[in-house]
Structure 1
Amino acid sequence: MSETYASPRDRDASAELGEQIRQADATRAPLRIVGGDTRGFFGRTVEGTPLSLAAHRGITHYDPVELVVSVRAGTPLAELEAALEAEGQMLACEPPRFGEASTVGGMIATGLSGPRRPWAGAVRDFVLGTRVIDRAGRELRFGGEVMKNVAGYDLSRLMVGAQGTLGVVGEVSMKVLPKPAASASLHLDMPLEKALDRLTEWGRQPLPITAAAYAGGALHLRLEGGSSSVAATRERLGGDDLEDGFWQALRDLRLPFFADDARPLWRLSLPNHTPPLALAGDTLFDWAGAQRWLKSDADAEEIRAAASRVGGHATCLGTRDAEGPPQGAAEPFTPLAPVIAKYHRRLKAELDPNGIFNPGRLYGDF
C-alpha cells in the first residue's frame, strides 16, 4: 500500500474481534454488529452485545492501475472515497453514506447503491473478495482481487446485503472505476407520464445518462462521459442546470421530499418501465423509475401486494422525526416465499448454527 493512503488511525483489530466472536459462540451470546451505526434503521432491531468494527480500519492495498482496492470494514466511506478521488477514481455504485461515520462494512452489509446503480451496477457487482471472521473467530478469505478469481459459489457477494447475519466481514476487495471526464446535470419541467415515456425512449439510445429521477414536477438527469458526448446530449435534451449536490442529497435521503413526516417511508424496487402504482401518498421516482420512494399511510400489506403484482418488492424504512435517516420499522422487509425462506434458514444454520450474528436483523426467525 502506498504511504499516501496510510493513516495513523489504521489498525488491524481482527484478532480482538475474533476472540470476542469465539467467546460469544461458545456461550451462545448474540452479537449486534456495528460500525458507524448510520444504517441502523435499515433492518429489524437486534438485541445483543455490541461488536464494534470502528477500530478495524485502513486501506490495506490500492492499485490505481489495476483498479482494485482492499479496505477494512471499519474504514469510513468518506476516507476511502477521498483516497480514490486523489487518483481520479470512484466507487461506481455510489453507496449512500447517511452520515460521516458511515463505513465500508455498512455499505457491504446493507448492499444499498446510489443513483448510478442501473447504469453502473450494484455494490455486489464490484466485490472481488472478502475476509470474513467466522463463528470460531477464524479469518477466512473468499474470492480474490481480480475478476477472474471469482468462481463457483460466490460467498463474498453473498455477504452483500446479508446484514451481518452470516458472519463478520472484516475486509473487502473491490473494483473501482475512473471518474468520468465530464459531467452535467439537467432539470426538465414536464409531467410524470411524459417523463417516464422519455426515459423509456432514451433508454434505447446510446446517451450518457447515469442518473434519472422525477421529483417536484420535473425530471432530473445526470450526464457523464466524454466532454463532446456530454455537451452534445446536453444541447439536444435542453432544460436548465440542476443545482449542485442534488444527487448526493438524493443518495443520502436528504432532499426536501425526505424531510420530517409522520408517514412511513417505503422503498419500492420495481421492474423497469412499471407504470405508477395506485397507492395513496407521495412518490419520488429514482433509477429511471425502477426505485421509488413512497411516503404513505397505506396498509403495509396493500403496499407490498401492489409491488408484488408487478414483480417487485417493498421495504419499509420507518418514519422521521428529526434530521438524519429514518427511525426504522418493526418489520421492514417483504416476507420471503416459503421455498426461498427454507434455503435462507439452511444457510444461516450452516454458517451460524448458534445464531450469534445479528439474530433477527432480517427476519424474526433468521
Structure 2
Amino acid sequence: MTMEYRRCGRSGLDLPVISFGLWHHFGDGGDAAARAMIRRAFDAGVTHFDLANNYGPPPGAAEERFGRVLREDLRGHRDELVVSTKAGWDMWPGPYGDFGSRKHLLASLDQSLARLGVDYVDVFYHHRPDPRTPLEETLTALADAVRSGKALYAGVSSYDGPSTAEAAKILADLKAPLLVHQAHYSMLSRTIEHGLLDTLAEAGVGCVAFAPLSMGLLTDRYLDGTIPADSRAAKGEVLSAADLTDGLLTKLRALSAIADRRGQRLSQLALAWALRDERVTSVLTGAGSVEQLDTTLGALDGLHLAEEELREIDEVLEGGDPFVNRQN
C-alpha cells in the first residue's frame, strides 16, 4: 500500500490521491480516537487534511482538535502537511456569520488560524456560492488572504461551471490563481462530468472530490437492506431510510459483486472509480475509526480499472433510480 500523489491543476502542489476530511467524528470527546486516525493517515502518506470553520460538532471543534494533534504529535512536520479550511456556511449568529462577504471570510480565517494554532493554512476555500454577494468581493477576500500570507492558495467549493470559470479569471487577474475546486462526485453523483471537469482542466484548476462514498451508501453497510443503528440513515443525517430503495440496493449489490471479483470492498472500488479520471486530483474521505481508515487506504492497492470493468460499472449505474437522480 503506497500513497500516490497528483499535481493539483497547473500549480506546483502535489496532493495525495486520498485526502482525509475531518467533518464528522472530530468534535468534542474522543481525543484518543481522533489522534490515532490522524497519525495513521499521516504515516500512510496522507499529507492533506481538510477542515472547515464549522466542522465539529460544535462548530470549530474539529479545527481545535486537529490543532492539538498538530502541536503535540506532528509539531516537526508542518511543512509536510497541506492543511485546508473553509468559510461560507453557518458559523456564528447574526448577519456576518456565513456566506461570502469580505467581512465574514477574513474574520473566519483569523478565527480558524487561532483554533488551529498556525500562522497560515495551505488552502482557504469559499465553502459555497453566495447568491447575494458580488463574486468579485468574495474572490478579492480570498486573494487578500493569500497576499497576506494567511493562506498559500485559494479554493472554491460547490460552484457550477460558469461561476468556476469566472472565479478562475478573477483570481488570475488578482495574481492569486485558483488552485482547486472541491466538488461533490461519486458513482451516484456525476454532475461534474457534464462540463465542470472540462472547465477545471481548461483553467488549470485541480479537483478534490468530496463524498466519494455517497455518505456511506457506497460501502458494505447497507447491502443487506437493513439500517445500522449508528448509521447516518438511522439518524436522519443527510440520508434517510426512504433513500434505500429496491432499485438503489440492486445497483449497490451489483457494484459490490464487481468489487468482490477484484478482491476489493465496495468502498475501495468506489474510490478507484472516482480517481480513474486524472482530472480528479484527490478524493476526500473521512473515517470513524482506524479500521475504517485502513479499509479506505486499501483502495491504493487496486486503483487501476480495466475498460471492460468501467463499461460494466456504467451499465449498472444506468437507469432511473430516484436517489441517484436526486444526487445529480
TM-score of the superposed pair, with normalisation by structure 1: 0.24
Larger Cα-atom Rg: 1
Question: When you count helix as a share of all residues, which structure comes out higher?
Answer: 2
TM-score of the superposed pair, with normalisation by structure 2: 0.26
Question: When you count strand as a share of all residues, which structure comes out higher?
Answer: 1
